[in-house]
Structure 1
Amino acid sequence: MVLIVDVAADRARWIGWTAQARRENVPRVVNNSRFLIFPHVRVPHLASHVLGQLARRARADWLEHWGFEPLLLETFVDPRHYAGTCYRAAGWQLLGATSGRGLARPGQSYHSTPRQVWVQPLTSDCRDRLCAAPGSPRS
């Protein structure tokens, strides 16, 4: 069992989640865990263009492949190495930072450094829908 320990308290506050709404709706938050454009690729604005396409296609692609629509994209950027410029240029929103505590596993501890939390809503009402109870008209 893996417990997420304060991975993104700023995200949870921004959404307005209760503990139950988070448990029920966290699968609708898609994490962009890896994004790499090799340094030898020199195409102006490529990163923000790709991120914009991702945001436009994610809902339909996930619905077709997995059978549900994600409502929010998120990513975590290490500010020691990156500024998050491509996310800002693609219209993502910087919410704050993680605590740097990382994942907690029974009998183990894992420490990381704080990461910036960036999000991209996929619908205009994503926060309402992420806070809705399962089976309600808003979910």
Structure 2
Amino acid sequence: MDTTGVSRHLGIHIDRSVTDVYACARDPANLPAWALGLGGSIERIDGRWVAESAPMGRVVVTFVAANDLGVLDHDVTLPSGETVRSPLRVIADGAGSEVVFTLRRRPGTTDTEFQRDADMVLADLRRLKNLLETTTDRR
């Protein structure tokens, strides 16, 4: 079965302003606190953000330029050189925000693997929610 173009939009409401959520999620230094899918540590090496990811090894994370649209798309360059683009948005939702990650199914990914990836993304989004809703000034 061809799974090209199959995506899932995974979102969560966060009781913080778009400005607060965007600032926190956009800062690569905050990734280890909520984006465990990218690894438990990240450091700036030669101007690039390099994360140590248990399943993938060392990966380079590059966000799009800062913007006023809530766009947090980022590329993850794997040790093989392959780059995976990850669409991520922060959208106003009343006084709070909705964070939406678009999970794209990569060729050769089984249904079980795709569900596992979705579960990992949702766990990351829940950690971001918890981080932002339990701190008063997290940027």
Shorter chain as normaliser: what TM range? under 0.3
Structure having the larger proportion of residues in strand: 2
Structure having the larger proportion of residues in helix: 1
TM-score computed with the length of structure 2 as normaliser: 0.27
TM-score computed with the length of structure 1 as normaliser: 0.27
Larger Rg: 1
